[in-house]
Structure 1
Amino acid sequence: MFREKPAGLQRVKKRIVLTENNMKVELFIPCFIDQCFPQTALNTVKVLENLGCEVIYNPQQTCCGQPAFNSGFWDEAKEVGQKFLNDFSEEHYIVCPSASCAGMIKNYYTDLFLNSAAHNKCRTVQQNMYELSDFIVNVLKKDAVGASLKGRAVYHSSCASLRECHLKDEPLRLLKNVEGLELVDLPHADTCCGFGGTFAVKFESISTAMAQQKIDNVMSREVEYIISTDVSCLLHLQGYIDKHHLPLKTLHIADVLVGKA
């Protein structure tokens, strides 16, 4: 049985901003963000509204089905995926603050709904699906959003953003225009952090070693922040940081772009 979204996010659908462009976007908040990082969800709304979008939020939405899909339970993943298709329309762009979940929908729904009655709607939804930075740069045509953050940071390119959503320059273009932020190159930036969903549970020692390698590279750059498009990676890295009492903080890109810091 699907859980209802917290009241804080239910109020999002009432926060309508009518603008000159009046571009309507539907917001997909992954279950991981909903349960663990609700402020990132609200910051995503603020970023989109600041850029002149009318944000539509359906509080009945739940999960994209990725956990079941990656674990081999395709029938269960299809059931969850069908609910996702029912919860979103074909009329608007769909924006998600997670490259991992956006990549699941854009790529793997093709396998789930091939030769099914939902195939045509699936294809339309896939075309409308965008990760947040992808949408800002490639649809809204914005490189700067008026945000500021004082400090030095590296950008962690998640496997999903790089390999499934094919995002490389988009997040960097936005971050380079954040006032006060010094963006530093990260050695082996395209190397996995070790999270990988259930991989971190099944192969804990390997996952931890990969996180150590990533953090060692970050520490070599003498920065204060690690920024990424995926909170799952950041949660994994922050856990390693906290355990070893390191002077680092992880931030989702929406939390950086939301405004003044």
Structure 2
Amino acid sequence: MRAALFVTCVNDALYPSTGIATVRLLERLGVEVDFPAAQTCCGQPQFNTGYRRGTEPLVRRMTRVFDGYDYVVTPSGSCAAMVRHHYPRIGGEDAAGLASRTYELTEFLVDVVGVTDVGAYFPHTVTYHPSCHGLRMLGLGERPRKLLESVRGLELRELPGADECCGFGGTFALKNSDVSAAMGQDKVHHAVTTGAEVLCGADNSCLMHIDGILRREGAAPRAVHLAEILASTEEEPWS
């Protein structure tokens, strides 16, 4: 099985370890991973801010770059949702084809590869935050939890108010910073009450927002992308 990695801007610029973990995980499961170097932004920031015309060239570029791949995998629910839900309306038939072949990482693992036990080992207490795009637009449901529950050594703790937005929301955090920060503080408070060492999620944009508040408040949990947990083994531990 061959798949292309759509790493996303946030991961490429700020969290390369998530992209590396995704490749390591997929290759361990027998997936041949390509990385089309010409990929750029999917256009989500522009589209969400109302600049549709500025989004269209990016949609056309992404459609060309990922042409020919049966599967396009991304460790980002928000970018997957952008491609799946908005590309068909922006870029026509070719973009709709890309949308039908694009999978968020946990979808790909459970629905395409057909696994929930990926051979991971992560001896830590973990609580899981389901980001809004994955929860509401992609309908990831129990996929991330099933993957986490199969990780050896991991104790999964329920996050109170898990289905509430963390307050990031892309440009929402810039335009409504006070509201965004207050929502993030609520999320952090809930995470702290679990006593977990790690708060994980499937979107580094949300985790960046939450982790910033955790660090400013000196709170104990560390924000970690789900891919890094699933890629961790006794031979290649997470650090």
Scaled to the shorter chain, the TM-score interval is over 0.9
Between the aligned partners of 1:188 and 1:248, the Cα distance in structure 2 is: 16
Match for residue 204 of structure 1 among 177, 196, 213: 177
Equivalent in the alignment of 1:31: 9
Q: Would the aligned equivalents of 1:187 and 1:217 in 2 still touch at CA under 8 Å?
A: yes
Query: After superposition, what is the alpha-carbon deviation per residue over 1:114-134, rounded to whole angstroms, capped at 9, x for unaligned?
Result: xxxxx2222221111000011
TM-score, reference length from structure 1: 0.88
Match for residue 82 of structure 2 among 83, 86, 104: 104
Query: After superposition, what is the alpha-carbon deviation per residue over 1:42-66, rounded to whole angstroms, capped at 9, x for unaligned?
Result: 1110111001011111111111000
Between the aligned partners of 2:75 and 2:159, the Cα distance in structure 1 is: 22
1:153 CA drift (Å)? 1.1
Matched, 1:43 2:21: yes
Equivalent in the alignment of 2:95: 122
1:214 CA drift (Å)? 0.6
- Gapped runs of 5+ residues in structure 2? none
Q: Would the aligned equivalents of 2:126 and 2:155 in 1 still touch at CA under 8 Å?
A: yes
Between the aligned partners of 1:239 and 1:92, the Cα distance in structure 2 is: 37
Q: Would the aligned equivalents of 1:90 and 1:125 in 2 still touch at CA under 8 Å?
A: no
Pairs within 5 Å for 1:177-188 = 177-188=150-161
Between the aligned partners of 1:112 and 1:52, the Cα distance in structure 2 is: 34
Q: Would the aligned equivalents of 1:90 and 1:124 in 2 still touch at CA under 8 Å?
A: no
Q: For residue 204 of structure 1, what is the amino acid of its counterpart?
A: S
Equivalent in the alignment of 2:71: 93
Pairs within 5 Å for 1:60-79 = 60-79=38-57
Between the aligned partners of 1:259 and 1:241, the Cα distance in structure 2 is: 23
1:40 CA drift (Å)? 0.8
1:197 CA drift (Å)? 0.6
Matched, 1:192 2:165: yes
1:221 CA drift (Å)? 1.1
Equivalent in the alignment of 1:257: 230
Q: For residue 59 of structure 2, what is the amino acid of its counterpart?
A: G
Q: Would the aligned equivalents of 1:64 and 1:80 in 2 still touch at CA under 8 Å?
A: yes
Between the aligned partners of 1:124 and 1:90, the Cα distance in structure 2 is: 10
1:110 CA drift (Å)? 2.1
- Gapped runs of 5+ residues in structure 1? 1-22, 114-118
Equivalent in the alignment of 1:14: none
Equivalent in the alignment of 2:108: 135
Matched, 1:83 2:56: no
Q: Would the aligned equivalents of 1:90 and 1:121 in 2 still touch at CA under 8 Å?
A: no
Q: For residue 83 of structure 2, what is the amino acid of its counterpart?
A: I
Equivalent in the alignment of 1:56: 34
TM-score, reference length from structure 2: 0.96
Q: Select between 231-240 and 89-98 the one with higher mean Cα deviation.
A: 89-98
Q: Kindly, what percent of the aligned residue pairs are identical?
A: 38
Query: After superposition, what is the alpha-carbon deviation per residue over 1:96-143, rounded to whole angstroms, capped at 9, x for unaligned?
Result: 010000000000112212xxxxx2222221111000011000111101
Aligned residues: 234
CA RMSD in angstroms comes to 0.9
1:252 CA drift (Å)? 0.4
Q: For residue 15 of structure 2, what is the amino acid of its counterpart?
A: F
- SS of the equivalent of 2:123 reads strand
Equivalent in the alignment of 1:240: 213
